Every structure is written in C-alpha cells, then in structure tokens.
Amino acid sequence: MQDETRTYEELRTGFTAAVSHELRTPLARLLALLESASLPGADQDTLLAQAREEVEEMSELVDDVLFLSELESGREVVALGPTPALPVLEEIRDRLADSAERADVTMRIDASPDVELPLRRRMLQIVVENLAENAIRYAGPGATLTISAGPGLLEASDDGRGVDEDELPRLFERFYRGDRARASRGTGLGLAIVKHVVVAAGGEVEATGGAGHGLNVRCMFR
C-alpha cells in the first residue's frame, strides 16, 4: 500500500510539473504581447487578437487536463452505449469543416448507418473530435483524412506527412509532440484523451504509419 501511495504521488507530482511547464510558454507569449501592445505605435488590434489566441490555448489546455482528471478519478462514465457512429462522425466533420479547409485537409467519412460503438455519445464525440483535430493540425496541406467506423472499430487514417516510426509508441503520451508538431498549436493531450477513453471502455488503440506515409490510428473495442 505504501509503495502504491508513493507511486501515485510521484505520478501526480510529475503531471503537475508537466502542466505547469505547458502553461508557462503561452503565458510568456501572452505577457510579451501585452507589453508590446503598450508601446507607442503598436498595432494593438493585431497584438490583442494574438493575445486572445494565447488565452484560448491556455483555456483548451485547462479543459483537457480537467477532463483527464475526471476520467482518472472514475467520475466520468465512459461506456453506456452503444451509440450509432455515423451521426457523430458527420457532426464532427461538419463542426470542423472550417478548420479543415484552412489547413487544406479534406475530411471523409466511411460508416454504414447500422454501425454502433460501445461509448456514450459524448465520449464518442470527444474521441472522434480529437482524432480529427490531430490530423487537421499535423497531417499537412493537401492531405486527406478518412474517419471510418465498423463493428468494434473506429479508425482515423490520413495520407499526410506522418511521423517517424520511432515516435509512434509515444503519440499517446500526455504532452508528447513530435518534432514536426512542436511548431503547431495544440495541448499535446488529444491522443492521450483518445487512449484513456477507449481503454476505459475496454478497448485498445494503436498507431501505424511513418514519415511521408501518413498516420493511422485504430481504436478497437471488444
């Protein structure tokens, strides 16, 4: 019991340190923007718009951290399914259409109307949205993202820039961003949330692909 308590405290301390580190960067950028806005001749409208983006990024990070905390504490019921997959996939595609267009990423949906997945609707929305946002952020211009669902399977596959094979096992770690992703905005928690929800529902996830060969994320449910 003492060893378990010590392990938990080490994990909690490490997680808190990681969150603090991730918040420090947008906070520093926000402070610099606000200081610049106070200088004579500054383009205040542009600087304040950039500052608003930093606040939104921090808000997104806090929301993701709180959601992970809910999952880990057991307060969030994940699997109360089944939920028809197609309406959720179409909803997320439509919701992210503008973001995908700005990133020059084409989104496609592949699922028959009778396919159901063993997740609450809200949980399925969160998983699909995080998978789609990950591809929109990192697949690169001209890529096509296909989100498909079948019996016991949810899959997000793109033909974009991909990631190095040695990075694949780390994609589901909290705050992990590969070399190509570090220049992009994002909390680094999206795929960690995907894994946590899927595993909590009794499933498993895997990522395959390679640099220049796109990324495929499979969520498999028993």
CATH of the domain at 40: 1.10.287.130
At which of 20, 51, 73 does a domain end? Answer: 73
Average pLDDT in the 29-43 region? 86
Pick 105 or 180 by higher pLDDT: 105
User: Residue 212 maps to which CATH number?
Assistant: 3.30.565.10
The pLDDT-based confidence of 8 (bands split at 50, 70, 90) is: very low
Q: Are 176 and 50 in contact (CB under 8 A)?
A: no
What span, in angstroms and rounded, lies between the C-alpha atoms of 100 and 112?
23
Domain co-membership, 27 together with 101:
no
Q: State the chain's mean pLDDT as an integer.
A: 81
Amino acid 61 reads L
Q: What is the pLDDT of residue 18?
A: 53
Q: What is the pLDDT of residue 110?
A: 97
Q: What is the pLDDT of residue 34?
A: 86
Whether 144 shows a pLDDT value over 70: the answer reads yes
Domain co-membership, 89 together with 33:
no
Domain co-membership, 104 together with 162:
yes
* Percent over 90 (pLDDT), the chain: 39
Of 102, 92, 166, the C-alpha closest to 140 is 102
Q: What is the pLDDT of residue 7?
A: 46
Of 195, 218, 215, the C-alpha closest to 206 is 218
Q: Is residue 78 part of a domain?
A: no
Q: Is residue 147 part of a domain?
A: yes
Q: What is the pLDDT of residue 217?
A: 96
What span, in angstroms and rounded, lies between the C-alpha atoms of 199 and 178?
23
Whether 107 shows a pLDDT value over 60: the answer reads yes
The pLDDT-based confidence of 190 (bands split at 50, 70, 90) is: confident
Whether 174 shows a pLDDT value over 90: the answer reads no
Q: What is the pLDDT of residue 11?
A: 46
Q: What is the pLDDT of residue 101?
A: 96
How far does the chain reach from its first CA to its final CA, in angstroms? 32
Please give the tally of structural domains in the chain. Answer: 2
- 10 Å CB burial of residue 59 (0-12, 13-18, 19+) is exposed
Domain co-membership, 183 together with 131:
yes
Q: What is the pLDDT of residue 202?
A: 86
Q: What is the SS3 assignment for 187?
A: coil
Q: What is the pLDDT of residue 72?
A: 61
At which of 34, 51, 73 does a domain end? Answer: 73
The pLDDT-based confidence of 31 (bands split at 50, 70, 90) is: confident
Average pLDDT in the 112-118 region? 94
Domain co-membership, 103 together with 32:
no
Range of the domain at 43: 2-73
Number of H helices, E strands in the chain: 6, 7
pLDDT digits (tens, 9 = 90+) for 44-89: 889 888 888 888 777 766 766 666 666 665 555 566 678 999 999 9
What span, in angstroms and rounded, lies between the C-alpha atoms of 203 and 198?
5
What span, in angstroms and rounded, lies between the C-alpha atoms of 217 and 95?
21
Contacts of 170 (CB under 8 A, 6+ apart): 176, 178
Residue where the block lists tokens 């383009």: 43
